[in-house]
Structure 1
Amino acid sequence: MDSFANTNHVTEDLPTTLKFVTSTDVDECKENPCEHGRCENKDGGYNCTCSPGWTGHDCENDVDECKENPCKHGRCENKDGGYNCTCSTGWTGQNCQNDVDECKKNPCEHGRCVNKVGGYNCTCSPGWTGHDCENDVDECKKNPCEHGQCVNEDGGYNCTCPPGWTGHDCQNDVDECKGNPMACKNGRCVNKDGRYKCTCLPEWTGQNCQNDVDECKDNPCKHGRCENKDGGYSCICSSGWTGQNCQNDADECKDNPCKHGQCVNKDGGYKCACSPGWTGHDCENDADECKDNPCKHGRCVNKDGGYNCICSPGWTGQNCQNDVDECNENPCKHGRCENKDGGYKCTCSPGWTGHDCENDVDECKENPCKQGICANKDGGYNCNCSPGWIGHDCENDVNECKENPCKHGRCVNKDGGYNCVCSPGWTGQDCKNDDIDECITNPCQHGRCMNKDGGFNCKCDSGWAGQKCQQDINECAGIPCRHGHCENKDGGYKCICLRGWTGSNCRNDINECVEIPCKHGRCVNKDGGYMCNCDPGWTGKNCQQGGGKSLCYMGFPAAAKALAKAETELGPTMSFFLD
């Protein structure tokens, strides 16, 4: 029969032996039906109160919390009865809702850290780049040094400037003309980009206008030194030369100057071909290893198997070839340091002086005003020039040569006056005296001298030419010897005639027939020689061979007659002899 829970009434259909049945409620919670929750028994059943993350009648189904996207800044992973959040970089917290402050760990190596929502930014210091300012910027790629070499450094760069440029980027030209009175000693200094140029006063030359112009610039002395004189010049000949114009070579080998060798005379000197083991101009010195001077800026000390260099101050290296850069120590207190070969030079700021620009300048102590009175000023000075002088330092003389005072010559301006360099043949202070008779000194070597105003002319003898008739004419160039060899002579020539010719120019034929060279025949004279027509029975150049019987004597008169006819027409080239 069936059982009925919670039933408390009489069933009328039951047998009459049973009046009623009483039933008790079953407690299902004893079997723990709720898998993930709390069981509550009910009349005729039970209810499950599920733990968080579970659902279903018996709390048997896991709740997928990820459907609601609980992770604010990350990835949700569902779990039985819950979930986990894997946060994105820069976030933290159960639901990735809290921003991480990355700046606490100082991630920016060379810069300032700024925290951001979900991350951070680095504001890099100058010269650095990268996400964490960890990379040095190579500023040299943009060529910041205008006139120099760029050297990259951590967080910046340095410029190595060449001479004539300065500034952080070598962008400033050095004005060599300032504070450097020796730059253009006798002229005007013009500054240029990276250099300077001197515009020299008249009669001065050289890079710094330091050289006086030599008035003997025409150089009449071939091998010697010219000394200008009023109305002429004198030659002081170099060793090995002689003559009025130092044009004649001296034979030094006559005095046997070579101690251990053979002397070879040269124009203006001599050369010694030294015997093995000897050296020197006169072969007087034994060989020295230091003779090639390997030490560029120092003294060579010969050693067995080598040498040592004792370097001069400011130089270093095995051969003293490397300059010491003294400017690295910043020796110039108030000025700019310029490295020099073997030392350095300070270009002082205005108002400072001394080797290292350590002393204040009183410019007037040096008397900079050449022809005037100095008035010292703060950072400089002024010159009040005496009459007749101009220029910043009263250094420029008034040029009297503008008035052309020299009548027959060249004017050279001098301090406080002028000098006249007279043209050849003139003399006097202003080169205006009467003409000099140059013929008195007999300048024409092979001819007659004729005086002219301001000079002379030479009428040369036959066979001579040149301004002073000093050059022999080579008559052989015109081939004067028609039948012979020409030999040039001083002032003339000589013909050596070929055989058969005679005369001064070998133009006359010699008549060899006068000597009767043909022994047995007739002589015919020719240009430069002769020919023999031999008698019958004779032959040879001079008809000296033969003497046998002819065809006529042997009874062949017809043949003899034909032979005679052939000799008449062709010459004595066909003679026959029969014994």
Structure 2
Amino acid sequence: MAGHVCVCSERYTGRLCEVYIPACESNPCQNNGTCIEMQSDFHCECGDRYYGTHCEYEPRSIGDTRIPAHYVTEPPYDLVQNITYYDCFSGMAKMIDVSVNGPYWMPEKFNASVLGIYPWGFEVKIWRTDREFGWSLFNVELRYEAIYETFAFRKSPCVNSRHCENYLDLGAGGRKCYCDSGFTGELCETKLNFCQLWPCYQGDCVENAIDYECKCRPGWTGRNCNISYISGQQVVSNHNWTSNTAIWTVVYNRCHSPNASTVDLSIRGQIANFVHVQLQEIRTGGFIVSLTRYSGKGIQWELIDIIVEWKAYFNTPQEYYPCTWRGQCTNTLDKHICTCIGRFTGSVCKTALPYCDSQPCKNGGTCVGTEFDFKCYCAAGFGGSRCEKSTVQGVRDIRMRRRKRGGENFVILFDECYIKKPRKVKVEFLNLGNYPDYYYTRVYHVYSNGFAVSVHRNARIPRKHSLRLKFRFTAFFDSRNYTNSPCQNGGQCSITNEHNYTCNCTSRYKGKHCQEEILRCSTRPCKNGGVCVDKVNGYKCFCAEEYGGKDCSLKILNGSYTFVRHFGLEVKTYTKLVYKTCHTELPKKITVTALGNQTLPFRYGVTDIDIRPYGFGAEVTRADRTYGNAEPTVTVYWKAFFVANTFNNNFCENGGTCHNNKSGFECSCPPGFIGNNCERVDLCQSNPCLNGGSCSNGAKSDFLCECLKGFVGRKCSIDISHIGVRNSTIVLS
């Protein structure tokens, strides 16, 4: 390894600089300071008497100032002077040493003494020890050394300040702090709450580390949200262009005065670099813009719509609305048009007409006006300065419980429910008689359904005076819809107490305020494909073609029957009709009409309908006999309404076919079944009787064989011809 030398850094030594030298090993801290080893350096913890990196400085401030010599070279040969430090210190010196140096030829001719010590400096007296020397053209130099208790004196007393100055005219404090932004106070110790000053005109104030920030509402901008703006966009299509230029106007969607100070314009989209937009003129209600497009770029302009975005700024401390007294403003490019309301007129609604010309009295009230005011005489049932309040009056009887002096409280309910609570209630007695001064009353609470009144008596009343009192009350409501019942959809309101009421709803509605409609159709009441429609008092079913009834549960069977009247003058004819199908139940109803061949239905009536399971009979009566034999035939049109689930029931079992006739019905049974309803099995179908025997079905589930001569047995299977039996026929069961 010979041939090289390592030059070590400050904290290392050794041949290879491998030995670390602790920073505190050299005792860098002076004046008994304590050294603390750090990662790459050291730190000195100094005592109270010293400060600095190595505790090398004592807590003292040294300075000098020059004083014109004539102050002390002329009578009275002494001077009291206030000396301010160059820097601001947080503490106050415990001792100050001063010395005075005169010109070089008389350095020992002056002396000084400290009279008082202050935070900003000290007061010193300087005097001349030798008064023979008369020169006054030279300055005297005062040197001082202020000694403090601790090194903390060097810290500025100003908390949040970049600069501090000492001033004599600031009193005992003697310092002036120039506070950083956002702070105030003598020592800049108080943080300013900027938002308490409401700096944001149209926005919300948010404090930050320095001062504040305004979050502006839509339509406002600026540091304090005091600049209003209107923004929008305009689409310029191909037909707006003349060659490669286009001129268009923008009219604001709301009125604003005075005119905009500036307008920002921009083109949106990929072709923005090929279109130039320029503001031409700002008018009262909008502005004029010109556009220029660059040709020869291979752009099919006829297929492109250009979107121009704009924002107009108004440098006004507040948005100025041109129409006064709540007039409605309509904007045009060159002017505002005001539509005045009430008694105001003029171009901006500033001119006031006489009060009564605007008809200020509502609800039929009569206006009596003067030059400066008016008075409304209200119609019955209304009150208020403009007759805008509706009044409800009533009379009530109450009974005092005691005759002695004192007060009692009563709760009075209204006769009807009202959707709004009255604004106030007045009460007046009607039957105080000889004791009008004994009573006074006060309404102390107004409820939705009534009010609470306190009745006071100033003295005990004689026994002959009744405890029953009668008074009239007047309740004043806001006239807007106060009479509307809280119960909706025709519900009737009943007051239960001063706070509550009950709504008695109609059959179609439910809920506290009858607000919920009962949808009868939600239960699907219409059967057999019927369509349900909710009605005020229920529902209605629109049935399919072959069904009827309220809920389409009846099957309709209809038809017609034409018969011949045998006599031209026949008045009554009884006819029977048989259904083509069989039914187990009678129809719920039958409707029948009769028409002659000249279609004059009013000349026939149908009565005495006899309903049977297989059909019906009816008597057709001719009401007009003047036509003689002109109508030999009559057609009867009928409808029979059956319960749908019994309509197609067949009397005949086991596949039998039912046939109606005028006396009933009968079943045609399929092979293998017998009986009135085909309910029995035909046991003879298989020809169980042998040897030519005849089979017949029994009363029960059995059969009988009638055997030929010479055979016996249940199925005629026994041959007895060779035995010689006399009886020709034997039937065995």
- What TM-score bracket applies, with the shorter chain setting the length? under 0.3
Identify, as 1 or 2, the structure richer in strand: 2
Query: Could you state the TM-score of these two structures normalised by the residue count of structure 1?
Result: 0.23
Query: Relative contact order (alpha carbons < 8 A, sep ≥ 6): 1 or 2 greater?
Result: 2
